[in-house]
Amino acid sequence: MQRRTFIKNTAVAASAAVIGVDTFVQASPVAPPLIKKSLKYGMVTEKLSVLDKFKLLKDLGFDGVELDSPNDIDPKEILEARDKTGLELPGVVNSAHWKSPLSSADPKVREVCSKAMEKSLYDCKMYGGTTVLLVPGVVNEGTSYKEAYERSQAEIRKLIPIAEKTGIKIALENVWNNFLISPVEAARYVDEINHPLVGWYFDVGNILRYGWPEHWIEALGKRIMKIDIKEFSRKKQQDEGLWKGFNVELLEGDCNWPVVNQALAKIGYSGWASAEVPGGDRKRLEVISQKMDGIFKAV
């Protein structure tokens, strides 16, 4: 133990003894979470075959990539690229949840998303993944908060038999949908569904508009199945406009990554972190890979 650390721990322990607190002070910091790096397939903008895109990502140090589903890519091509490169497909992102949300008043619209989710669950199983990312609902002028809450929960419950059949998890993402904007409520929403295959796909950057990621991680705890990585600048939001807040490089926004790492480690999280930022060519993707290494290298 270094002298400075010893003195600090001794002082804290002595103070605790004075005020009658039974405590044990650990000398070592919390270990950083064990992370596997992923990103979204659409971030690769080079005009390459699926196989060559997978090779590119593997060369740059990514462990996996997430595709949208349903998609129009030949499944054989995807599986061949996966097997030849060793790049994993940890999950898929449902591609219908924004245009056809499960919270819609129109049952035909909800059915579009529900059918897409069924396809996504089967696709994810075929790819060898574990989660389907789903935006649970959208609140707007025509859909009240109460309606969105009740309709989306009901539709998710209907999907559970397919989730059980495939063994694939339904991971709900926090987005700017005017819905589930409190971490305590987000935890309760999942707990009311009460099924081990339903949890959260936590987006770190999306929260910075109205909260702190570490608070959400603490509240959601083991409900977190995967995490999305992006940044946000509150100053840019204030000075340039709401959506401009995302126009900041990883490690240069308002996310306190060491604190986020500590929060993830505290809940015992290990697994996938998927970048969801503007992509580009090989050079740009290399920067993203390096930035992700910087994010998770320490606490």
The conformation of residue 222, written as its DSSP 8-state character, comes to G
User: What are the extents of the domains in the chain?
Assistant: 1-30, 31-296
- Cis ω on the peptide bond leading into residue 32 (within 30° of 0)? no
- Burial of 227 per CB tally in 10 Å (0-12, 13-18, 19+): buried
- CA nearest 135: which of 166, 106, 176? 176
Question: For residues 6 and 154, what is the distance between their CA atoms, to the nearest angstrom?
Answer: 55
Mean pLDDT in consecutive groups of 10 residues from the start of the chain, 299 residues:
41 40 42 85 97 98 98 97 98 96 97 98 98 97 97 98 98 96 97 98 96 98 98 96 96 96 95 97 98 85
Structure tokens at 234: 């509150």
Look at the domain 31-296 and name its fold. Answer: TIM Barrel (3.20.20)
Please state, as a whole number, how many other Cβ atoms lie within 10 Å of the Cβ of residue 115: 13
**pLDDT of amino acid 23:** 36
**pLDDT of amino acid 33:** 72
**pLDDT of amino acid 32:** 62
DSSP 18-62: HTT------SSPPPPPPEEEEEBGGGB-S---HHHHHHHHHHTT-
- Please name the residue that has the structure tokens 């987005």: 175
